[in-house]
Amino acid sequence: MSSATVAGHEVSTDHWIGGERVAGSERFEVITPIDGSVIAQVAAGGAHEADLAVAAAHAAAPGWAALGPVGRATLLTRLADLIDQNVERLAAVECADMAMLLESLRLRVIHRAAANFRNYAELAASYEERDWRSKGTWNRVQRMPAGPAAVITPWNAPFMLSTWKVAPALAAGCPVVLKPAEWSPLSCSLLADLTAQAGFPPGVFNVLQGTGEQAGAALVAHPMLRRISFTGSPETAREIGVAAARNLVPFTGELGGKGPLIVFEDADLDAAAAKAAGQYDDAGQVCLAGTRLLVQESVRDEFLERFHAAVDRHVLGDPRAPETTVSPLIHPEHLARVDGFVKRAVAAGDRLVRGGQPAGGLLYEPTLFEPRANDSEIVQREVFGPVLTFQTFADEAEAIALSNSTPYGLSGIVYTSSMGRADRVGRAVRAGVVWVNTFLVRDLTAPFGGIGISGLGREGGNYALDFYSDLKTLQILEGSVR
């Protein structure tokens, strides 16, 4: 058994398969973005470990299904309680692993993960099966757990994002094999420990560690899987989609974003500018971020003055320090990717308004471009870093046209004081979620997902339970049974 001491806490660096730690033969290095040092050598799985993990999930499936939604809800609620009780440990490890702000992890993000389990414990226990009479028969829709599910997650907010998928899959009765991202694999190892402490039967929850190319690819190609749920980039989604198609396995993808943040002249400009500056939080490594600032021409100067003042108040630094608001990027390779976007934009003639440079270690300056044209790469492609673009529009029609001018469609943010406009623009923006005068709040029963290259399928509420269930119609001739 191998483990690492991360932020003062012991974390297993092995796989978790069938209720046991499995070392495997190969290892990969994990660094902390805080200072770039190596903090763990984690098991690098391949086809053999993927096979063991799916076999363990498959073996656990009948027992987990037989427990029924109420039996499963008891364990999910216990797990939620354990997550809440372990917030300090989970937050400290995740902060070391991916450099999300410690305060944000302690106060919001980890509790949100617990809420996902609590929410699905309740939803699954009250998930309705439709009953009706027609054509001389009694009809009932039965929902059956689909079987072993693979959950593949990205490196940003890895603990909470994994629970968006793990919670509904387990609640619906599907054992899970979770493959966390190789740049931040540690907090999900702690989730395995908590499932054991909560009393989950062996094989119901498994963690397969390793790279996407080896562990991820072997997992999604496995013929015994019945569902695949992925969060990550559209490029990887295409590869996983091909593997899923080969085995005819349903697949959902929560993918990248390039959301507009639209500010109308009737908006509260202080609030809009503060929220726009807030898009640099977590170093812009947020799929839902409104990275394209679209501002009505008539309030351009008033908005920019407030925006720059708000960005000036950002403090770049160590994510553990309470005063820090912008943390380091996840990895040197990612910093080089972000910097590559910035350099190409400058070379292409997009006007660099502020920032544009690394700021020591893995920090990067909050950066703003005024693009030379809407087809600039910096407008059209997701950077996933602290880089925003600024464009103006004349009227509602132009705001909508610009909003819908990229291949993405994950989220949109609108600032206006007009109800009519909120409704019209909210409807017209092509995205899975549009927030008006707010950002990132989401009722856990609401659908969540993307349009275009931002996603396939929906998570959240009963939408995710539907995904992890096989539906059957039971039809009985009236009067034929007693």
216 binds ligand NAD (CB under 6 A): yes
Distance CA 181, CA 19 (A): 21
Count of residues that interact with ligand NAD, criterion CB under 6 A: 31
Complex with ligand NAD: residue 222 or 306, whichever CB lies closer: 222
CB 176 within 8 A of CB 185: no
Quote the CA–CA distance of 208 and 223 in Å, as a whole number: 16
Q: Does 42 bind ligand NAD (CB under 6 A)?
A: no
Instruction: Give the integer Cα–Cα distance in Å for 322 and 137.
Output: 64
Site string for ligand NAD, 425-454 (x = CB under 6 A): -------------------------x----
Q: Centre a 10 Å sphere on the Cβ of residue 372 and count the other Cβ atoms it contains.
A: 14
- Near ligand NAD by CB under 6 A: residue from 64, 117, 155, 393: 155
- Determine the residue with CB nearest ligand NAD: 212
Give me the least distance between CB of 244 and ligand NAD, in Å please: 10
DSSP H or E run through 241? helix 234-247
The residue (of 200 and 408) whose beta carbon lies closer to ligand NAD is: 408
Q: Which of 95, 174, 188, 287 is catalytic?
A: 287
- The whole-angstrom separation of Cα 47 and Cα 45 is 7
Task: Tell me the C-alpha distance between 378 and 124, whole Å.
Answer: 42
What phi, psi does 127 have (nearest 5°)? -75, 120
Residue of 233, 306, 229, 232 whose CA lies nearest to 272: 306
d(CA 155, CA 132): 46
Q: Residue 431: what are its φ and ψ, rounded to 5°?
A: -160, 160
Q: Which stretch binds ligand NAD (CB under 6 A): 40-48, 230-238, 268-276, 312-320?
A: 230-238
C-alpha span between 294 and 374 (Å, rounded): 11
| Catalytic residue list contains 287 | yes
Q: Is 376 helix (H, G, I), strand (E, B) or coil?
A: coil
x/- letters, 248..267, toward ligand NAD (CB under 6 A): ------xxxx----------
Among positions 287, 335, 425, 444, the unique one binding ligand NAD when judged by CB under 6 A: 287
Q: Which residue in the block uniquely carries the two structure tokens 């972000």? A: 338
Tell me whether residue 318 or residue 459 sits nearer to ligand NAD (CB atom): 459
Q: How far is the CB of 450 from ligand NAD (least distance, A)?
A: 6
Residues in region 301-340 near ligand NAD by CB under 6 A? none
3-class state of residue 167 by DSSP: helix
CA distance 58 to 226: 10
Closest to ligand NAD by CB, 284 or 371 = 284
Site for ligand NAD in 165-184 (CB under 6 A): 179, 181-182
Nearer to ligand NAD, 42 or 217 (CB): 217
Instruction: Considering only residues 401 through 420, tell me which ones interact with ligand NAD, judged by CB under 6 A.
Output: 410
Closest approach of Cβ 98 to ligand NAD, in Å?
10
Of 168 and 257, CB closest to ligand NAD: 257
Among 57, 123, 171, 217, binds ligand NAD (CB under 6 A): 217
> Of residues 254, 365, 382, 459, which has the active-site annotation?
254
Report d(CA 462, CA 68) in Å as an integer: 16
Within 375-394, the residues that bind ligand NAD by CB under 6 A are 382, 384
Distance, in Å, from the CA atom of 469 to the CA atom of 411, rounded to the nearest integer, reads: 27
Pick the closer one to ligand NAD by CB: 394 or 446.
Answer: 446
Q: Is the Cβ of residue 154 or residue 317 nearer to ligand NAD in the bound state?
A: 154
Question: What is the rounded distance in angstroms from the CA atom of residue 68 to the CA atom of residue 171?
Answer: 9
∠ at Cα 391 (387, 395), nearest 5°? 145
Q: Is 220 in the site for ligand NAD (CB under 6 A)?
A: yes
Q: Answer yes or no whether residue 43 interacts with ligand NAD by CB under 6 A.
A: no
Give the separation between CA 263 and CA 429, rounded to whole angstroms.
13
Question: Of residues 24, 33, 46, 154, which one binds ligand NAD by CB under 6 A?
Answer: 154
Q: How far is CA 420 from the centre of its chain?
A: 31
First and final C-alpha spacing in the chain: 57
232 binding ligand NAD? (CB under 6 A): yes
Output 73 or 152, the one with its CB closest to ligand NAD: 152
Verify binding: residue 103, ligand NAD, rule CB under 6 A. no
| Known catalytic membership, residue 254 | yes
| Binding residues for ligand NAD (CB under 6 A) | 152-156, 161, 179, 181-182, 211-213, 216-217, 220, 231-233, 236, 239-240, 254-257, 287, 382, 384, 410, 450, 455
Which residues belong to the active site? 254, 287
